[in-house]
Amino acid sequence: MVRDSTTVSLETCLDLLLQSITIQCLEALQYLHNLGLTHCDLKPENILVKSYDRCEVKVIDLGSSCFETDHLCSYVQSRSYRAPEVILGLSYDKKIDIWSLGCILAELCTGNVSMYNI
């Protein structure tokens, strides 16, 4: 398959954009996790574009967040971004935020929601 330079450029640009968003979200989660906090509701609506020019995003809405030492709530995370341990009613930790971010990134890459709200 032959691609022109415009197509390659656009793909490269989109890859760099996705990489930048991923790094910033991981840094935000690392910051929260180092404080002993789990976001508990990471979803696209909670990733705010801070600057289009500089491709900056911000993780927002800590209303559902909890400390590692808190009693775990049985209802956390939006359905489409819910980790398996939460679905199964098992104990969970900060890794559920990483699961949610993975779902969001898959959605950004494919343009499809992995698990719809049923």
DSSP symbol at 3: -
Q: How many CB atoms lie within 10 A of CB 95?
A: 12
Facing residues of 48 across strands?
58
What is the three-class DSSP state of 11? helix
Q: How many CB atoms lie within 10 A of CB 81?
A: 25
Residue numbers annotated as active site? 41
